[in-house]
Amino acid sequence: MTRVDPRRIPALVLLAVVLLSPSYISAEHEKDSLYTYHVTGYSTGDYAGLVADMQNLNATYPGIFELFTAQDAFGVPDVVYGSETYKTWIIRITNESSGFDKPEVLFIGGHHGDEKVGVEAAYYLAEWLAEHYATDDWIRYLVDHREIYIVPVANPYGWVHHQRYDENGIDMNRDYPYDSSSHIFATVGARAIHELTKRHLFINTVSWHGGTEMIIYAWGCYAHTSNTESPDDIAFYNQGQYMSAYGGPYSGYYPWGRANDILYPCYGAYEDYAYAASWDLANAEPLWPTNGCRSLTHCIEISSSKFPSESTLGGRNGVYNPGGTEDGYVPKNIRIALMLTDIAEPYIEITDSPPQEAEPGATVNISWKVMGALTTAETAVQYGLDADPINNYTYVTSLQSGGTGWQDVEYHESITLPAQPGTYYFTIRAKVDQDTLNQNNPEPQVAPQSLYVNMRTNDSWSISNYNNTLEGHENWYSRIFTINVFPPEIELYSGWNLITIPVQNNYTASDLAALIPECDMIAWWNAASGTYSTFIVGVTPPGSPWDFNISGGVGYYLSVTDTTTFTLNGTPLTDVSVALYPGWNAIGWWNTTSTTAAMLASQIIDCQMIAQWDAETGTYITFLAGITPPGSPWDFTILRGMGLLVKVSSGSVWEG
């Protein structure tokens, strides 16, 4: 079915979001599309039910869904309290058949067990990705080109018992080794997330909470209260702005800003740890080194209530319908997560592809969107005969700049192809998000440190962590596509043929005859005098008065001794102007787009009849204006290079 692109938001008018088409709803949720809590009784987290739902997704979508525990993967201990035992479940969503070493993102719910809305945002994000992979082109692209990690409930004991703290009464979101509190990794959940983080390079990260409604980011620790601007402040701000806009209007657009400015500082929180523990070593604990803490990490406070009414969660119909009847806190945050997954890496989406074949001098149109980014510093098409147009190109279009697909900006280029035949290789280049290099007065005084900024602004930058590697690229390129540029060929049958020359040329009859070894005669019907002018090969002297000029839009009879084809070199005609006289006239269809006799007759003043000479059968096919039914077998198709006889009752000019 036809769907509006679900990535569209208004061009930075953050007052309204004009989005999206109705979402595809999977069959199993058609009757009950509303989201529900995983709880028993009033507030007890339904651990068994949540695990069963995750296992069901894992069994249903084995090609893209992987479910495992931090206990099995990293050897962290179980969460144990008395007779209760819980594990830290981790979801990985990607299509391994499309490759490895992809940009990674991480989404976490349930650091605080009583903030249940975050657990549902995380779980239902996983459900959305799994269930829509087969039907939603954008979701398929994300799953094919990203590795998406989701920890639905970091604090399972606290979630089950509806309490902020873990089984030992410890606040998990004060348990990380950056500007640390009195304890580090005293909780199983924080240790599990650290073990996951240190093995990966998460570009964008979200930790979902509840209790107010806002998006916050670094700095949010006591170590940076005197100056709250981080080295990546512009990137944080830009992301927060678009997260708020794309999240949409439900319960109001989220305000966004530095945690120390709009909320409060705290020790040992996940967000600053995940952003800075790998490089701000003055505030990181040396006993817990990692190279993975360079994420643009946001804490999203989803709702003013930590456990809002189930009616505010929304439904599956709301994900692509912000402001609709099923919008709610869960659809709002699924949208934000999808956006952050998209912008984890820049890419170029070709929205209008040129033809695969064209003639020298033809004009082709290309349209594209710059995606995976928020601003476009410059973009252009580069091409040439070399198979590597990224590094070796002959032609480049004028630079364009502005927005990206996240403002629904589409770039267009009309290219006149070179006269030289051959296979031309094209790519579209874009330089993005260069504004994220700007700084005012960051603390500490260092360049941007995030993976997000460096991977899209710094050609000499690279980083590795375990089996993951990221390399910086100042320029990003589309897939390479080709246009085969070859002159048109006209097929001729033994005997007489009626053709036209659909390219700009300075031919005379002798020039045209020289292109066709089998040609023995060319005749032109001079409608003004009602006579034929004839050039006989080997008899008529080239350059003589009988060696007439070949004009665009005019039909000519060619006699050949054998069936053959000939190639026409020259720039395609873009317009013609042919004088028509009462009676019969010989014209030619030069346009690359075919037409019909009925359509052509309607464009010629006082047209009475159009006749096509069928050289293969040696007969005329005739269309009588006003008599032959349009669309009938006698309403023949007129192709480029075809000559025609047209009878008119009065003189006029045919503009072609």
pLDDT in tens, 315-347: 999 999 999 999 999 999 999 999 999 999 999
The yes-or-no verdict on residue 32 having pLDDT over 90 is no
In a domain, 276, yes or no: yes
> What is the average per-residue pLDDT within 217-244?
97
In a domain, 414, yes or no: yes
Domain of residue 479 covers: 347-485
Amino acid at position 601, single letter:
A
Query: DSSP characters for 455-485?
Result: HHH-TT-EEEETTEEEE--SSEE---EEEEE
The yes-or-no verdict on residue 1 having pLDDT over 60 is no
- Phi and psi, residue 357, nearest 5°: -135, 140
Confidence of residue 6 (pLDDT cuts 50, 70, 90): low
Q: Residue length, the chain?
A: 656
Shared domain check, 494 and 434: no
Cα–Cα distance measured from residue 86 to residue 151, given in angstroms and rounded to the nearest whole number: 14
The yes-or-no verdict on residue 28 having pLDDT over 70 is no
Q: Look at 28-42, 57-71, 175-189, 610-624 and tell me which has the smallest mean pLDDT.
A: 28-42
Instruction: Dump pLDDT digits (tens) for 76-95.
Output: 999 999 999 999 999 999 99
> What is the average per-residue pLDDT within 114-119?
98
Cis peptide before 322 (omega within 30 of 0): no
What is the distance, to the nearest Å, from the Cα of residue 579 to the centroid of all Cα atoms in its chain?
49
Contact 290, 273 (CB under 8 A): no
Shared domain check, 508 and 556: yes
Shared domain check, 382 and 258: no
What's the pLDDT score for residue 7? Answer: 59
Amino acid at position 656, single letter:
G
What is the distance, to the nearest Å, from the Cα of residue 339 to the centroid of all Cα atoms in its chain?
12
> What is the average per-residue pLDDT within 225-251?
97
Angle ∠(269,272,273) on CA atoms, nearest 5: 75
Instruction: Dump pLDDT digits (tens) for 198-222.
Output: 999 999 999 999 999 999 999 999 9
- Phi and psi, residue 116, nearest 5°: -70, -20
Relative to beta strand 556-560, strand 519-526 is: antiparallel
Q: Look at 27-41, 425-439, 510-524, 595-609 and tell me which has the smallest mean pLDDT.
A: 27-41
Q: What is the pTM of this model?
A: 0.85
Q: How does the average pLDDT of the chain come out, rounded?
A: 94
Instruction: Dump pLDDT digits (tens) for 287-319.
Output: 998 999 999 999 999 999 999 999 999 999 999
What's the pLDDT score for residue 517? Answer: 85
Instruction: Dump pLDDT digits (tens) for 256-268.
Output: 999 999 999 999 9
Shared domain check, 313 and 439: no
Q: Three-state DSSP class for 98?
A: helix
Q: Which of 485, 506, 537 is the last residue of a domain?
A: 485
Q: Which of 448, 468, 485 is the last residue of a domain?
A: 485
Confidence of residue 180 (pLDDT cuts 50, 70, 90): very high
Shared domain check, 162 and 50: yes
Confidence of residue 12 (pLDDT cuts 50, 70, 90): very low
Cα–Cα distance measured from residue 234 to residue 435, given in angstroms and rounded to the nearest whole number: 7
Number of domains in the chain: 3
In a domain, 361, yes or no: yes
Instruction: Dump pLDDT digits (tens) for 350-384.
Output: 999 999 999 888 899 999 999 999 999 999 999 99
What's the pLDDT score for residue 284? Answer: 96
Q: What is the CATH number of the domain that holds 105?
A: 3.40.630.10
Relative to beta strand 296-301, strand 202-209 is: parallel
Shared domain check, 149 and 53: yes
What's the pLDDT score for residue 573? Answer: 87
Shared domain check, 459 and 516: no
Contact 171, 165 (CB under 8 A): yes
Cα–Cα distance measured from residue 540 to residue 508, given in angstroms and rounded to the nearest whole number: 12
What's the pLDDT score for residue 625? Answer: 96
The yes-or-no verdict on residue 15 having pLDDT over 80 is no
Straight-line distance from the first to the last Cα atom of the chain, in angstroms, rounded to the nearest whole number? 38
Shared domain check, 505 and 464: no
Instruction: Dump pLDDT digits (tens) for 561-604.
Output: 999 998 887 778 888 999 999 999 999 999 888 899 999 999 99
Burial of 227 (0-12, 13-18, 19+ CB in 10 A): middle
Q: What is the CATH number of the domain that holds 388?
A: 2.60.40.1930
Q: Which of 285, 317, 342 is the last residue of a domain?
A: 342
The yes-or-no verdict on residue 182 having pLDDT over 50 is yes
Confidence of residue 614 (pLDDT cuts 50, 70, 90): very high
Q: Which two structure tokens, joined as six digits, stand for 122?
A: 């995380």
Contact 211, 300 (CB under 8 A): no
Q: Three-state DSSP class for 571?
A: coil
Cα–Cα distance measured from residue 180 to residue 176, given in angstroms and rounded to the nearest whole number: 6
The yes-or-no verdict on residue 21 having pLDDT over 60 is no
Burial of 445 (0-12, 13-18, 19+ CB in 10 A): exposed
Instruction: Dump pLDDT digits (tens) for 536-564.
Output: 999 999 999 999 999 999 999 999 999 99
Shared domain check, 236 and 322: yes
Locate tokens 């903030």: which residue?
115
